[in-house]
Structure 1
């Protein structure tokens, strides 16, 4: 027997304007007004180098001359195109983030339509009520689409990752698009849908390598076996999908192999990186999965687990398909020798999808408990953020003011009128949302997650408005870049350096420093990065032929007491 029993009143769709407003409040803060941070400066550096470089820079991703072929080029192509189109109007940094907005829209829309198509299938419908009044299939599908998006937006792991210009961010959105195309294929197996599945696979390959698409293709075939779809047709269609996906990767592989940009082979390096992304699963990887996943997937994973339990007696597409994909991606992650937080992002769409189908089976008491937890915790955290903001401006309470400013020594806080209005408006909106939920006691299905999603968005808006100047001051290398540029002669030919990828991108962009390119050459200047706590002059300086060189500058970010940069001029 189906575990869902709902009246039509519970499937009232969230107003489109409300969903759009929620999405805008989610994605725009953290993009507008934010300097380059270490978390995504390297990715921006590749986009910026492409946009202001030549064809070889588009074929061989690099950060102002530092090779970076550990991932596919697609995400960087998108950012570079946006810089070309909008850089003159928005500035290069914000223009690159236009692609981030597009990626966010792709991911959320794909997830919504996936839940919608699964939700209106006959086997997913609630039990028919004795006297009628059950929801219509399309209404139920729309409600599940809204619910899946709200759970997706309310997940902690998505919050930071979706605001960064990373290849992993695009991979997460493409995974949601692949889910949608896979559902459409299972609903109507055929060459057309197989080709569209292949397009998703090809885009995933050009984003972060061939391993995730291969895993997903195997999972999709296993799903067709579990659902008893005709084996010959499934094999033929998935072969078409694989062929289309491979053909799309040739858009980059062929010209990069033939032209050999900078006399190098980016494809060979990329394939070598792919080969090192798989190993034998072990206890450290499993422990890392639970340690990171328990907060990264919150609050989606409790709903998802309940969905699997509630539908355990049913072999339904809306549970089988996301479970198969999620488990396949988990196995891939466990086999990764060095998984990163961003690698968890691709597992979030199938988990949010499962969670959306688990929510209708939950008891009213559990839903109310979730609501009260969200109201109390998120309201308290929002109040703490406001209190810290007041403390840093006024000095009261003194301990809070000290804690707020100790991470940004030398920073002078100021009131931003626009940011204050946005933060205050978001806080008023939260109060109105809580009042609506608690006073009207709506019966709609998505009521259980609207507060958790809205509260998380409020916290993000407050941080990205009230504390954005502090974060920019502490994380940006703009000041260091400008100091170096001021000491560097205008006729400097090039700079050899050991700085990291993120620092190189920031210094090249903010200071327009002429770092040595992939073509190589002898540079008259050397910029070295090291640690004040671990001086390595005995090995570092000779390695870069800094023996009798003239020191021109030494400095660091005011907020970093450990990192140090030094600029030298080589003697002829």
Structure 2
């Protein structure tokens, strides 16, 4: 007797794809740049200082830097970074590297949630495509590998997308993920972004694709979970420090837009559109391809992506701060759209993406290898001269382990790009592999060179090495002291991290004074200059050690 088996019940066709390759690529992409370097500007020194303050007993709900409230990083990030530092430092990693594990964790959560949403919305294999597209977006690199709170925002956005994808099948989990994402956004990006996504979730009810009972229940559960959770942070802050709560409410409650007393807007759309070209490539051209191939309004995920993009674009358009990392708000829906028709990408378009990636990343990799030989062996001479110009504090250093890592990445990439029958998914995989190759080479071959240019440690060591032996002894014995202005936050932070001198804040009795000012600035009356320095090519930030005139 013949029976009919519905398509949903049929066994999936066999596939030659290997999921472990995606895991290997994601692992290779996540870890370079986490280890063996100092704190880099602009955010890492302050964020790590906030983590240390928390470990030393500062308030849990209020990140502080030099005893001042610091609202530029989520307390959730500080908690996780402090936990990793406590667990891993110093036996498994140095304190800086251990704290960066928080960025790795939140980025991995975001990738997993976005990939899982792609699987739920688009079907088997497409979750991997979403993750590969995100790994290929260069805008995600810095927030994944540097200390900073944007990785928490990415994780929260991924949770929201995954919550939407679960609404049709698993209501309770969908409500928890969606509501949890909103709550995490409220404490990491201000109240306006989650409010916009909440309104977008309600707006979906107007479309027939989202008018089903399970979604109604999901929304009820998500709001019931999110709203009390979103009140936890302001309530705890008010109870522990009413003055800090007032500062947060008046100036930081709405994230980039300020607070109740400093709310402001501006027209920033041209800035964000320009930076989107590189930040979200190849997500945005693939999303456009999908939009030209099908009617998004007929797909549940298409309606969601359009509404999400509209809500986030409105916020970016009127954002008073032009901060490129805010473009991460657009990445989850763009990656979802980009993966939807990836297998239907025309062979010519796939070949172009593949060819462009091979040329761009291949030439960049060759340049990095040439730069490595130039800065360590002096050849090519012209390139060696430029490398010294941009990082004069660098001392040639060849470490066998980074060399082995760099050498291993290059042939793996060559193997990936020489595969035949390149289609859309293979082209995106090769693109992500190219991004991983270049990032890995930069964070192995170039890491000491970059560290010497971007870290304040060489400047601090240079100043302390220039001190006369007698003055060093007097400072060590407490017979003399160095004062620093309370407002010189960078100087106080970096000397606390890298220096051996104990600076005194606003101590007029000290015969020496460390000032933070551009190199070459005028010296105040009654003082004369002992030393001045700055990070290479930095014309706006410098330091000077002054001695009181007798």
Range of TM-score over shorter length: 0.7 to 0.9
Could you tell me the TM-score, scaled by structure 1's length?
0.82
Task: Map 1:50-449 to 2 at 5 A.
Answer: 50-51=54-55, 53-56=56-59, 58-89=60-91, 90-120=93-123, 141=124, 143-185=125-167, 187-188=168-169, 190=171, 193-227=174-208, 229-230=210-211, 238=219, 240-260=221-241, 264-266=243-245, 268-275=247-254, 277-278=256-257, 283=267, 285-312=268-295, 315-435=298-418, 437-438=419-420, 441=421, 446-449=425-428
Query: Is 1:48 paired with 2:48?
Result: no
1:330-358 CA-to-partner distances (Å, cap 9, x unmatched) read 11111111120111122112111110013
Change (3 A) 1:249 1:360: same
Q: Aligned residue for 1:499?
A: 488
- CA separation in 1, counterparts of 2:459 and 2:535? 9
- Report the Cα offset of residue 484 of structure 1: 6.2
Paired residues in the alignment total: 519
CA contact (8 A) 1:25 1:457 kept: yes
Q: Greater CA deviation, 461-470 or 315-324?
A: 315-324
Q: Greater CA deviation, 484-493 or 60-69?
A: 484-493
- CA separation in 2, counterparts of 1:9 and 1:377? 37
Change (3 A) 1:60 1:484: farther
- CA separation in 1, counterparts of 2:66 and 2:16? 48
- CA separation in 2, counterparts of 1:102 and 1:473? 27
- Report the Cα offset of residue 181 of structure 1: 0.9
Q: Aligned residue for 2:4?
A: none
Query: Is 1:474 paired with 2:477?
Result: no
- Report the Cα offset of residue 522 of structure 1: 6.5
- CA separation in 1, counterparts of 2:132 and 2:213? 39
Change (3 A) 1:234 1:32: same
- CA separation in 2, counterparts of 1:516 and 1:332? 43
Q: Aligned residue for 2:544?
A: 566
CA contact (8 A) 1:60 1:266 kept: no
- CA separation in 1, counterparts of 2:64 and 2:108? 27
CA contact (8 A) 1:479 1:557 kept: no
- CA separation in 1, counterparts of 2:16 and 2:45? 39
Q: Structure 2 regions of 5+ residues with no counterpart?
A: 1-10, 258-262, 466-471
- CA separation in 2, counterparts of 1:104 and 1:207? 14
- Report the Cα offset of residue 455 of structure 1: 0.9
- CA separation in 1, counterparts of 2:356 and 2:13? 22
Q: Aligned residue for 1:532?
A: 519
- CA separation in 2, counterparts of 1:490 and 1:61? 34
Q: Aligned residue for 1:127?
A: none
- Report the Cα offset of residue 62 of structure 1: 1.4
- CA separation in 2, counterparts of 1:474 and 1:505? 18
- CA separation in 2, counterparts of 1:179 and 1:275? 22
Q: Greater CA deviation, 506-515 or 79-88?
A: 506-515
- Report the Cα offset of residue 152 of structure 1: 0.6
> Which SS does the other structure have where 1:277 is aligned?
helix
- CA separation in 1, counterparts of 2:389 and 2:15? 49
> Which SS does the other structure have where 1:348 is aligned?
helix
Change (3 A) 1:11 1:551: farther
Change (3 A) 1:465 1:200: same
- Report the Cα offset of residue 242 of structure 1: 3.4
- CA separation in 2, counterparts of 1:232 and 1:516? 64
- Report the Cα offset of residue 483 of structure 1: 5.8
CA contact (8 A) 1:112 1:145 kept: yes
Change (3 A) 1:494 1:396: closer
CA contact (8 A) 1:63 1:504 kept: no
CA contact (8 A) 1:14 1:146 kept: no
Q: Greater CA deviation, 24-33 or 230-239?
A: 230-239
> Which SS does the other structure have where 2:281 is aligned?
coil
- Report the Cα offset of residue 276 of structure 1: 7.2
Q: Structure 1 regions of 5+ residues with no counterpart?
A: 1-7, 121-140, 542-546
> Which SS does the other structure have where 1:528 is aligned?
strand
CA contact (8 A) 1:86 1:95 kept: yes
Q: Aligned residue for 1:37?
A: 40
Q: Aligned residue for 1:3?
A: none
Could you tell me the TM-score, scaled by structure 2's length?
0.85
CA contact (8 A) 2:175 2:221 kept: yes
1:246-277 CA-to-partner distances (Å, cap 9, x unmatched) read 322343323321222xx732453255223473
- Report the Cα offset of residue 241 of structure 1: 2.7
Relative contact order higher in (CA < 8 Å, ≥ 6 apart): 1
Of residues 26, 40, 48 in structure 2, which corresponds to 1:23?
26
- Report the Cα offset of residue 507 of structure 1: 2.9
- Report the Cα offset of residue 65 of structure 1: 2.4
1:359-392 CA-to-partner distances (Å, cap 9, x unmatched) read 1232122212222222222212211211121222
- CA separation in 1, counterparts of 2:16 and 2:187? 36
- What's the C-alpha RMSD, in Å, of the aligned pairs? 3.1
